[in-house]
Chains A and B, each alone.
Chain A
Amino acid sequence: MTTHPHRNVIIIGSGPAGLTAAIYVARASLSPLVIEGEPSSTSDQPGGQLMLTTEVENFPGFPEGVQGPELMQRMRDQAARFGAEFLTEKATKIDFSSHPHRVWVRDDEYTADVVIVSTGARSLMLGLENEARLIGHGVSTCATCDGFFFRGQEIVVVGGGDSAIEEASFLTKFASKVTIIHRRDKFRASKIMQERALANPKISVRWNAQVTRIVGEAKLSAIEVTDTVTGATDTMNIGGLFVAIGHRPNTDVFAGVLDMDDNGYLVTQPGSSRTNVPGVFACGDVQDHTYRQAITAAGSGCMAAIDAERWLEHHHGSANK
């Protein structure tokens, strides 16, 4: 076991929330350690969910739009410029029961006065048999990574929120036809995205329908679709299935320590980033299932950084400044 030098601030997670917190905290000369996560195609990862997107059109300051991965690289560079340090691994265990707070990465122990939790959320899967086995063989959670390989093919996107509609629109660049399968009779996605998608001649929608089976040996060959109203089933022969049915917060490591709602999202005190543990702050999608935007995550990351600075000032005078 290795114990590392004590820090003012540890930030766990590196999406827009964590990196904005890192920019602010680093700029206040509090030299944060950012435990940014591990590369992954299907789960949480450094840079967060924007690493799996393409064009971001609504982040202020980018009138021509910006690629998700590029935006995240810029935020990371900005935090690094002010002295944030990065550890490209996952936090595996925490102990917030005494001071200082302790965070482990495998067997290595890190301590800090303040911890900012910005671990975000990851994509939900359908949970069907064969699904995990066929990821990368026709089943995908990343349209931007895999759409390219479905040129001229008919594919299915499952879901009805912003990410499903965005993926469907993106996939029409490659696919001959995109069918959106949604279990309700209307989308949750924003109006502008719905309108754009529904106006696209390559996109069709199957309302009130659910994917109930995934079929394929070496690669995906078909899915079974069940009508949620009549219960009738039919088979669609397709080579590509993109799953975008929603998200789940990455809070397993904080279970029993930080207060969560029924869906596992961290609970923060209204108008602040404070959790139930003094000196532990939360920001971004890990505590927000309502807005879930890069800009709201960044905004809450800024709140967490300011809350953290004030907390440090209050508890340690100016010693850390």
Chain B
Amino acid sequence: MSENVITLTTANFDETIRSATTPVLVDFWAEWCGPCKQIDPVIREIATEQAGALTVAKLNVDDHGDIAMRFKVMSIPTMIVFKNGEAVDTLVGARGKAALLRDLAPHLG
């Protein structure tokens, strides 16, 4: 199911966000962040269930700090929803699947 989750880098970030035909949920994470690990399976489940309605991607802030800085990420996990290349919503902090789906609902119309 992991093939539903795109790994973002400095090289492919802008192109991926701009060319997506659905809203894109980007999960900013790092290896050393416990709550990031907790939500990883949640994010992957949502990617599978919402395939076609939502593009799910992950960005490692350790490797690509420039992108994290560009979007003023100061805490992880932070999840940013992009529509047509624009950041339209920012969700800071881990949460359960039901809560995350509730927060994403406005973008899944």
Contacts and interface: CB of A to CB of B under 8 A. Distances in A.
Which of under 10, 10 to 19, 20 to 34, or 35 or more describes the interface residues of B?
A: 20 to 34
B90 to A, nearest CB: 9
Contact of A39 (B78, B92, B95): B95
Given A135-B93, A136-B92, A145 B34 contact: yes
A289 interface: no
B74 A46 contact: no
Contacts of B46: none
B34 A138 contact: no
A69 B34 CA distance: 5
A88 B34 contact: no
Contact of A69 (B37, B61, B97, B98): B37
B70 interface: no
Which of under 10, 10 to 19, 20 to 34, or 35 or more describes the interface residues of A?
A: 20 to 34
Interface string B13-55: 0000000000000000010111111110010000000000000
B73 interface: yes
Given A42-B93, A135-B92, A146 B74 contact: yes
Contact of A88 (B37, B74, B92, B96): B96
Nearest to A139: B75
Interface string B65-101: 0001000111111100000000000001111111100
Contacts of A144: 32-34
A310 B39 CA distance: 37
A162 interface: no
A12 B42 CA distance: 20
Interface string A139-158: 01010111011000000000
B85 to A, nearest CB: 21
Given A136-B78, A146-B76, A149-B74, A40 B34 contact: no
A263 B36 CA distance: 31
A259 interface: no
The 4 A-B residue pairs with the shortest CB-CB distance, nearest first, are: A136-B92, A38-B96, A51-B34, A41-B93
Given A41-B75, A51-B35, A135-B93, 4 more contacts: A39-B96, A69-B34, A145-B33, A148-B61
Interface of A: 38-42, 45-47, 50-54, 67-69, 72-73, 88-90, 135-138, 140, 142, 144-146, 148-149, 218-219
7 contacts: A39-B35, A39-B94, A40-B95, A41-B35, A88-B42, A88-B97, A140-B75
